């Protein structure tokens, strides 16, 4: 039962007369066709991110039905409400530019509406981070439900799925290895159904992370979007949301330092997306934690990749589901986890694992004694080119390029890259290092996933599959290659990257965690003095201005400064 200030009696509009506010609200409740009974129910808000522009959320109508069923079966009153929905292919200039806007929308609607708990239905890359950021700031009881992964497809007898295979086939096409007819044919095979990308891209990674954080139900990350498992999880999520409302279990009791450490472990063990580092930093920042990249790197050295998922491995999310999903991954990581972390079920992670389904032989989730990759999927680099840090997904890189010295071939921005990368006269050799500037948080803006620089066509035709590539941008979690990302500070705010010139020598050593521009400091300073720009291209109005004024660098999560928690609670990992 709802109390005097909860359910539909809560969060009354400020007319200065609470009784009148309730009187008006009741009139509209009646107008919507409900009886007074709803006034006595706990209200579970359900964030509806269904959108005609978001195929990754194409099953949201079914999930809404199932969540509502669960809420009603538990005696609550379910009410869905819309927020912004972001899809990677339908968010100009890039979904990352809009993630913080979605988080603000989510936070303020949770705060404004009379909800006692909220179910966050998200899935596509930026949606789950945005929802967790917003819900963390709003502070009401919350539970995450992901839409689930799409089904795989088949092309000439080979299993394919978005988006690792999208990139692989596009690479074959650019290299002239497949023709127009085949690239058109495979285009219709890559996305087998609604749902999120079927590999360890950002969406899958964030789904696994949500479960590891304890903010989603055990076993809820991996079931594909169109399965009965997914619907049952949605019903159970609705049921649990009512209990959360009754218990008043606050989100900051779940999203603790211990939980973030568990999430970082799982990110490493699933060979997950580099984007998740940025997103976790942002979510943690909403609760007063900073991400310590040096400690994260230490954690990476002792956390092997266990999950054989593309792009670092061979399998797809549906295979992870059949192999036991995240509970099985957590069981394999057990000794490395904070088992006392409280989860959204009201029980600790250790208590949940004690009741996890029995294990069985499978080849998707390896034991720590026989990992896919001996250390974590992601390494943190530092050096004069990235004093604020840079990262590389080493598990998806070419082993022979992890230690490399090469001549920089520099592109000033994404437009320059598009203009020249396929120029037959481009002076570039396979051992060169491709450098792309000005695709950082402010530079592009929105830190687009343009860090996956294409191999110049003339080299691709020679059979070159990988080169060292460096930028201040991001790349899709579905991509593979020896690609250094998130160089900080970014070029647009005067980071060292800004001063790299074609012909400079760059040293990458993943073993030493070094990214070094072999140019003397005095020369870099001379370039900085000479390159001081007087042009002012900063946005002057609207969200773009807010973004440019407030966005932080990658290591702080690219959140807006004014959205971060006011009270600092320490760094994660804690050691
Ligand atoms: Fe939505 Fe990949 S495009 S998850």
SS3 track for 209-276: HHHHHCCECCCCCCCCCCCHHHHHHHHHHHHHHHHHHHHCCCHHHCCCHHHHHHHHHHHHHCCCCCHH
User: Of 354, 388, 411, which residue constitutes the final position of a domain?
Assistant: 354
Beta-bridged to residue 81, according to DSSP, are 47
Q: How many domains does the chain have?
A: 4
- Residue with the smallest CA separation from ligand 1 atom 3 is 88
> In the predicted model, what is the mean pLDDT of the chain?
95
**The two structure tokens encoding residue 70:** 């669960």
Q: What is the pTM assigned to this prediction?
A: 0.96
| Residue 101 CA to ligand 1 centre (angstroms) | 18
What are the distances in angstroms from CA 287 to CA 123, 216, 502?
A: 22, 18, 42
What is the band of 311 on the pLDDT scale with cuts at 50, 70, 90? confident
Number of helical (H) and strand (E) elements in the chain, helices listed first: 18, 16
| Residue nearest to ligand 1 atom 2, measured at CA | 197
**Claim to verify: residue 174 and residue 254 sit in the same structural domain:** no
Chain segment 340-386, per-residue pLDDT in tens: 999 999 999 999 999 998 999 999 999 999 999 999 889 999 999 99
CB 292 less than 6 A from any atom of ligand 1: no
Last residue of a domain, one of 187, 211, 246: 187
Substitution candidate for ligand 1 out of 162, 192, 207, 275 with most atoms within 8 A of CB: 162
**Residue 166 in contact with ligand 1 by CB distance below 6 A:** no
- Domain identity same for 86 and 231: yes
235 and 289 housed in the same domain: yes
Q: How far is the CA of 318 from the centre of ligand 1 (A)?
A: 15
Residue 267 lies in a domain: yes
Ligand 1 close to Cβ of residue 56 (< 6 A): yes
Judge whether 536 lies within some domain. Answer: no
Domain assignment of residue 373, yes or no: no
The DSSP 8-state label assigned to residue 391 in this structure reads E
Specify if 385 maps to a domain.
yes
pLDDT tens-digit map of 126-147: 999 999 999 999 999 999 999 9
Rounded Cα–Cα distance for residues 481 and 561 (Å): 32
What is the predicted pLDDT for the residue at 533? Answer: 62
CB of 197 within 6 A of ligand 1: the answer is: yes
Q: Which of 293, 319, 354 is the last residue of a domain?
A: 354
**CB atoms < 10 A from the CB of 566, how many?**
6
Per-residue model confidence (pLDDT) at position 534: 56
In a domain, 82, yes or no: yes
Q: For residue 559, what are the contacts with CB-CB under 8 A and spacing of at least 6?
A: 100, 103, 133, 281, 282, 285, 286, 551, 552
Measure the CA–CA gap between 359 and 551, rounded to whole angstroms: 44
Distance in angstroms (rounded) separating the CA atoms of residues 474 and 441: 9
417 with 454, same domain: the answer is: yes
Collect all residues with Cβ–Cβ distance below 8 Å to 543 and sequence separation of at least 6: 101
| Three-state secondary-structure class, residue 17 | coil
Say yes or no: CB of residue 330 within 6 Å of ligand 1. no
Q: Are strands 158-160 and 153-155 parallel, antiparallel or unpaired?
A: antiparallel
20: containing domain: 7-40
Q: Is the CB of 87 under 6 A from ligand 1?
A: yes
Q: What tokens does 294 get?
A: 């040096």
Within this chain, do residues 276 and 336 fall inside the same structural domain, yes or no?
yes
The model's pLDDT over 27-65, given as tens digits with 9 standing for 90+, comes to: 999 999 999 999 999 999 999 999 999 999 999 999 999
- The answer to whether position 457 is within a domain reads yes
- Could you tell me whether strands 77-82 and 142-146 are parallel, antiparallel, or unpaired per DSSP bridges? unpaired
């Amino acid at each position: 039962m709802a109390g005097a200030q909860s359910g539909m009696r809560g969060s009354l509009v400020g007319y200065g007369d609470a009784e009148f506010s309730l009187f008006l609200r009741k009139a509209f409740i009646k107008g919507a066709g409900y009886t007074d009974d709803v006034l006595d129910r706990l209200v579970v808000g359900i964030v509806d991110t269904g959108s005609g522009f978001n195929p990754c959320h194409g099953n949201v109508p079914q999930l809404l039905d199932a969540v509502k069923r669960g809420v009603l079966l538990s005696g609550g009153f379910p009410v869905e409400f819309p927020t912004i929905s972001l899809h990677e292919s339908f968010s100009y200039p890039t979904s990352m530019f809009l993630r913080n806007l979605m988080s603000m929308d989510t936070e303020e609607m949770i705060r404004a509406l009379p909800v006692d708990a909220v179910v966050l239905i998200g899935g596509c890359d930026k949606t789950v981070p945005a929802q967790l950021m917003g819900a963390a700031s709003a502070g009401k009881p919350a539970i995450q439900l992901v839409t689930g992964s799409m089904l795989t497809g088949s092309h000439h007898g080979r299993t394919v799925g978005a988006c690792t295979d999208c990139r692989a086939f596009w690479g074959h096409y650019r290299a002239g290895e497949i023709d127009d007819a085949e690239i058109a044919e495979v285009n219709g095979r890559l996305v087998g159904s609604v749902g999120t990308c079927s590999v360890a891209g950002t969406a899958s990674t964030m789904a696994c992370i949500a479960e590891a954080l304890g903010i989603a139900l055990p076993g809820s990350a991996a079931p594909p979007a169109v399965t009965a498992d997914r619907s049952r999880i949605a019903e159970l999520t609705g049921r649990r949301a009512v209990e959360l409302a009754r218990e008043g279990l606050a989100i900051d009791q779940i999203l603790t330092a211990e939980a973030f450490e568990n999430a970082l472990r799982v990110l490493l063990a699933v060979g997950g997306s580099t984007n998740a580092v940025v997103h976790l930093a942002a979510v943690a920042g909403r609760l007063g934690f900073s991400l310590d990249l040096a400690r994260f790197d230490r954690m990476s050295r002792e956390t092997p990749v266990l999950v054989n998922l593309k792009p670092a491995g061979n399998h797809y999310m549906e295979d992870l589901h059949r192999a036991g999903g995240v509970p099985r991954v957590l069981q394999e990581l057990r000794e490395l986890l904070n088992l006392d972390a409280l989860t959204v079920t009201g029980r600790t992670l250790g208590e949940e694992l004690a009741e996890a389904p029995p294990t069985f032989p499978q080849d998707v989730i390896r034991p720590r004694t026989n990992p896919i990759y001996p250390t974590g999927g992601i390494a943190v680099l530092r050096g004069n080119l990235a004093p604020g840090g840079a990262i590389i997904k080493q598990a998806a890189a070419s082993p022979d390029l992890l230690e490399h010295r090469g001549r920089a071939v520099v592109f000033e921005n994404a437009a320059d890259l598009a203009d020249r990368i396929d120029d037959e006269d481009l002076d570039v050799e396979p051992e060169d290092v491709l450098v792309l500037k000005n695709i950082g948080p402010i530079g592009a803006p929105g830190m687009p996933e343009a860090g996956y620089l294409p191999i110049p066509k003339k080299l691709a035709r020679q059979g070159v599959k990988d080169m060292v590539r460096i930028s201040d941008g991001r790349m899709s979690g579905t991509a593979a290659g020896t690609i250094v990302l998130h160089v900080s500070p970014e070029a647009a705010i005067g980071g060292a990257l800004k001063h790299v010139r074609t012909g400079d020598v760059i040293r990458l050593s993943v073993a030493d965690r070094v990214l070094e521009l072999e140019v003397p400091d005095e020369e870099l300073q001379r370039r900085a003095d000479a390159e001081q720009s007087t042009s002012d291209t900063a946005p002057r109005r609207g969200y773009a201005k807010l973004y440019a004024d407030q966005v932080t660098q990658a290591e702080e999560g690219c959140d807006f400064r004014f959205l971060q928690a006011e009270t600092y609670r320490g760094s994660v990992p804690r050691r």
